[in-house]
């Protein structure tokens, strides 16, 4: 467990630095049309997650129920058969519908398919309690492509061929890592003839929960193609940059919960109380969100404008939308992930309504306001659907009070208000850094016991 935490801590700064460097390399060295092409292509990644049919998430709950050991191979065979069929169908439909270069689409889709297989295999490793291996996988999964891409730029110019080659190479390495670790997992069940039986509702509810989320954030980038009246390239790149920042935050926000979800799942299915576990995880994620928000308000625009040389992108607005997304999503997403880990999948209704709101509001705002209108649509939809409803459903499932969730959320809001108040004084970078460190020290002092208890819990896994 301690090794898993250490890997997560390494991933925090590494992911941020690599993400910024890749965006800087793309925007500074490549044409805006090439950046637009890549953002539109990479936005399809979550579709492949959907077409994994929730098997990685289901594996955690499925292999941790109190019904005894279950055979692994039937689970893997069925899940791989299903995702192979549906991802191949999606490849054909997408290629025909958009009439895109077949070689480009084939390479990208093949790479995504390898990543999907890796996700299935590593989910078995994760469900069996091999947390460190899963954390290493996530580190490689998120960092290998940008690392190899940045190295390749020292030798070659940015091009579609280079991007796709590095994408395919990194995907193969990710698959190989997952396969090697999966091959080391011992199947406790001798009979491999057992059928893998799982209620279709479990798959459908998770798919219907995650599918709208793809349209809410990632695929909504195509609304700019459909609705915006002006030049689309800058708007697509602006929204794509917002998405890249938010995706980095989601990775950071999931590190600590993901370490503990297998343990929480086992406790839940053994009828043990998990409310204390959830409160500790919420406290840590609240703390992470607070200092990302304050740091973004103080230094976000400065950092982006320093590493990205573009006069067409308003970095201040991107930072404000990014911070707003953190305030709305951080705790809600954490609670939803933990609930899904316990086998609760009934989040499809709010997700569907959120995606519908994004589409409807975008139809009116995007034509005139472009990427800003799209980001406003997303935040509005989440505020009126997933934010309140998912928080309520999760509180019931996990046995924690709504009052505790609201209290944690208010701390995040207060941090935003405080940082906006400080920034209004137009302090220089040195003074802002002093203020940031002062807030950090005060927070550590006030919540010392909570920090110690939460870190001890994560370190020990109990």
- 146 alpha-carbon distance from chain centroid: 16
- Model confidence pLDDT, tens digit, residues 41-68: 777 777 776 666 556 666 666 666 555 4
pLDDT in tens, 158-208: 888 899 999 999 999 999 999 999 888 776 555 444 555 555 555 566 666
Q: What percent of the chain has pLDDT over 90?
A: 34
pLDDT-derived band at 267, boundaries 50, 70, 90: confident
The contacts of residue 128 (CB under 8 Å, 6+ apart) are 63, 185
Q: Which residues contact 182 (CB under 8 A, 6 or more apart)?
A: 121, 122, 124, 125
pLDDT in tens, 280-305: 999 999 999 999 999 999 999 998 88
Report the pLDDT value the prediction gives residue 388, as an integer from 0 to 100.
93
The chain-wide mean pLDDT, for the chain, equals 82
- What's the confidence (pLDDT) of residue 12? 64
Give the per-residue pLDDT at 405: 93
Specify the pLDDT at position 62.
65
How far apart, in whole angstroms, are the C-alpha atoms of residue 378 and residue 20?
23
Q: How confident is the model at residue 348 (pLDDT cuts 50, 70, 90)?
A: confident
Alpha helices by DSSP H, 99-159 = 102-127, 131-152
Q: What is the pLDDT of residue 191?
A: 47
pLDDT bucket at 99, cuts 50 / 70 / 90: low
Top pLDDT among 276 and 209 is at 276
- Length of the chain measured in residues: 462
Segment 102-127 mean pLDDT? 85
- What confidence score (pLDDT) does residue 104 get? 79
Rounded distance between C-alpha atoms, residue 177 and residue 402, angstroms? 41
Gap between the Cα atoms of 332 and 254, Å rounded = 12
End-to-end C-alpha distance for the chain, whole angstroms: 10
Q: Which residue from 145, 160, 85 is spatially nearest to 111, judged by alpha carbons?
A: 145
Give the model's pLDDT for residue 42.
78
Asked which of 146-160, 199-213, 365-379, 414-428 is least confident by mean pLDDT, the reply is 199-213
User: DSSP letter at 187?
Assistant: -
> Lowest-pLDDT range, 54-68, 91-105, 134-148, 235-249?
54-68
What pLDDT, on the 0 to 100 scale, is given for residue 268?
Answer: 87
For residues 254-267, give the mean pLDDT: 80
DSSP conformation class of 154 = T
pTM: 0.78
- The one-character DSSP state at 399 is T
pLDDT score of 246 more than 90: no
Given a contact cutoff of 8 angstroms between Cβ atoms, the answer to whether 386 and 332 are in contact is yes
């Amino acid at each position: 467990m301690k090794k898993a935490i250490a890997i997560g801590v390494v991933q925090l700064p590494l992911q941020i630095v690599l993400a910024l460097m890749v965006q800087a390399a793309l925007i500074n060295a490549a044409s805006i049309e090439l950046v637009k092409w890549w953002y539109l292509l990479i936005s399809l990644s979550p579709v492949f997650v959907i077409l994994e049919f929730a098997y990685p998430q289901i594996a955690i709950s499925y292999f941790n129920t109190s019904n005894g050991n279950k055979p692994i191979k039937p689970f893997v065979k069925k899940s791989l058969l299903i995702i192979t069929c549906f991802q191949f169908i999606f490849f054909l439909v997408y290629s025909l519908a958009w009439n895109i270069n077949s070689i480009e689409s084939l390479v990208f889709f093949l790479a995504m398919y390898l990543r999907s297989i890796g996700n299935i295999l590593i989910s078995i490793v994760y469900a069996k309690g091999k947390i460190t291996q899963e954390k290493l996988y996530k580190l490689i999964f998120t960092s290998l492509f940008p690392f190899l891409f940045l190295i390749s730029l020292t030798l070659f110019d940015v091009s579609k061929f280079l991007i796709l080659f590095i994408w395919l190479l990194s995907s193969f390495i990710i698959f190989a890592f997952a396969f090697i670790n999966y091959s080391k997992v011992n199947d406790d069940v001798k009979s491999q003839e057992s059928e893998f039986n799982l209620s279709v509702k479990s798959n459908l509810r998770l798919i219907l929960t995650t599918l709208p989320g793809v349209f809410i954030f990632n695929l909504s980038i195509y609304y700019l193609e459909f609705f915006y009246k002006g030049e689309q390239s800058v708007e697509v790149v602006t929204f794509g940059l917002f998405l890249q920042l938010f995706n980095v935050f989601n990775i950071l926000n999931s590190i600590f919960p993901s370490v503990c979800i297998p343990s929480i799942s086992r406790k839940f299915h053994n009828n043990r109380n998990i409310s204390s576990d959830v409160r500790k995880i919420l406290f840590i994620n609240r703390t992470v969100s607070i200092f990302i928000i304050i740091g973004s308000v103080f230094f976000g625009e400065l950092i982006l404008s320093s590493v990205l040389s573009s006069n067409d992108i308003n970095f201040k607005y991107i930072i404000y939308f990014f911070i707003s997304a953190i305030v709305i999503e951080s705790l809600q997403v954490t609670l939803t992930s933990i609930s899904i880990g316990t086998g609760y999948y009934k989040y499809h209704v709010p997700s569907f309504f959120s995606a519908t709101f994004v589409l409807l509001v975008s139809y009116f705002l995007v034509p005139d306001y472009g990427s800003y209108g799209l980001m406003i649509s997303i935040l509005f939809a989440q505020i009126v659907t997933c934010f309140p409803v998912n928080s309520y459903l999760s509180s019931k499932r996990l046995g924690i009070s709504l009052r505790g969730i609201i209290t944690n959320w208010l701390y995040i809001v207060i941090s935003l208000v405080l940082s906006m108040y400080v920034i209004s004084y137009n302090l220089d970078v040195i003074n802002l850094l002093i203020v940031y460190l002062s807030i950090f020290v005060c927070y550590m002092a006030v919540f010392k016991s909570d920090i110690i208890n939460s870190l001890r819990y994560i370190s020990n896994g109990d």
